[in-house]
Structure 1
Amino acid sequence: MSESGFGDFEFERKFFVRDMPAVAASDPSPVLIAQAYLFAADGYAVRVRLQGPAPAEVERPPAELVAALGDEAIGTMTAKGPAAGGTRYEAERELDALVAGQIVARAEHVVVKVRSSVWLGEDGWVIDRFLADDAPLILAEVERNNPVVDLHIPSFCTTEVSEDQRFRNEFLAHHPYGTWAADYGRELDVLGPSFVESLGRNQFEGR
């Protein structure tokens, strides 16, 4: 059980980002993440992840990137439940990195991304730049040990997608963002940005 007393639950909020924010470059050690979805339905998912230091050149086929992770890679397997109100069940265990890498290399539905971690105010944020078929998607996430309320939202967050199932990694693995990016761009232009209002008071940078 976690120190927060919430056990195997994660609390996060997720935002669509139009352009890679300059602050991401402050992370000296970005991480390459390759994750395969062995099962995904109705918000439930089983994921195998391999991650390690991001190579200097990431514009390569996913199989080459996975092979490049080498001895520093870490493997995990995670079971997830449906998300509601910024909360989601998540149970994770470590896997042998070689086994995890072989599963990812053989899987049909895979997401590959480079993750930069930054500290903004009182919160740690991760900024994910998706590669391959999910390019040019960029998402930013903030996670806490308890519900993410009264959040200070950085200016690089265009709109909140915490409750938009299309931006779940398991959805992206089956429906790559590159195939519907243009449609989403038009949708965002028409509807404009929106943010979850049920999690305390949102505070926006620069406003």
Structure 2
Amino acid sequence: MIEIERKFLVVSDDFINETFAKKRIVQAYLNSNPERTVRIRIKENKGFLTIKGKGNATGTTRLEWETEIPLQDAEKLLTICENGIIDKTRHEVMVGNHMYEVDVFVGDNMGLIIAEIELQSENEAFEKPSWLGKEVTNDERFYNAYLSVNPFRTW
């Protein structure tokens, strides 16, 4: 239930050749308050409800609870979400012993590519591939909840 995650900008499309799986994700927020976000997500043909708490001082660790919900329920809940839809393709890439989730945004956030890695501890060592750029873990502008109301194309 605790998520430890680091985020990075992606500086090239070299990760595409290393992708072993990819999925389209559409999501929106019932509540985008940074203290507690409530997200509805459709990943391929499955629906999910996710609640996330506020991150710690480094932005790497926070409470996360997620459960699968019927696709039809997720579709209905998307219609009552706050304005701003996140639409992206998630590429899964193995680097060493870790999997990176590389999100290629489309729509209002087109041009933005972010890689995330989940860790067992905040200080866990991990391999950084050549396509990984600046770390943005503690920069709330790169959180999906922020991007849903302040799209990348408007920056």
TM-score in terms of structure 2 length: 0.90
Using the aligned pairs only, state the percent identity. 32
| Cα pair 1:133 1:177 within 8 Å, conserved | yes
- Give the superposition deviation at 1:144: 2.4
1:103-118 mapped onto 2 (5 Å cutoff): 103-105=77-79, 107=81, 108-118=83-93
| Cα pair 2:28 2:41 within 8 Å, conserved | yes
- Give the superposition deviation at 1:159: 0.2
**1:126 maps to which of 67, 90, 101:** 101
Residues in 2 aligned to 1:92 and 1:137: alpha-carbon distance in whole angstroms: 25
Query: Which shows bigger deviation, 147-156 or 163-172?
Result: 147-156
**2:115 maps to which of 111, 123, 140:** 140
Deviation track 1:103-162 (CA, whole Å, cap 9, x = no partner) reads 225532211100000110111111100010011100001112433522322221220000
Task: Name 2:50's counterpart in structure 1.
Answer: 78
Task: Name 1:27's counterpart in structure 2.
Answer: 19
**1:51 maps to which of 22, 43, 52:** 43
Residues in 1 aligned to 2:92 and 2:63: alpha-carbon distance in whole angstroms: 22
CA RMSD of aligned residues (A): 1.6
Task: Name 1:173's counterpart in structure 2.
Answer: 148
Give the SS at the match of 1:30. strand
TM-score in terms of structure 1 length: 0.69
Residues in 1 aligned to 2:6 and 2:101: alpha-carbon distance in whole angstroms: 11
Q: Whose strand proportion is higher, 1 or 2?
A: 2
Query: Which shows bigger deviation, 143-152 or 88-97?
Result: 143-152
1:52-71 mapped onto 2 (5 Å cutoff): 52=44
Task: Name 1:95's counterpart in structure 2.
Answer: 69
Unaligned runs of 5+ in 1: 1-7, 53-72, 181-207
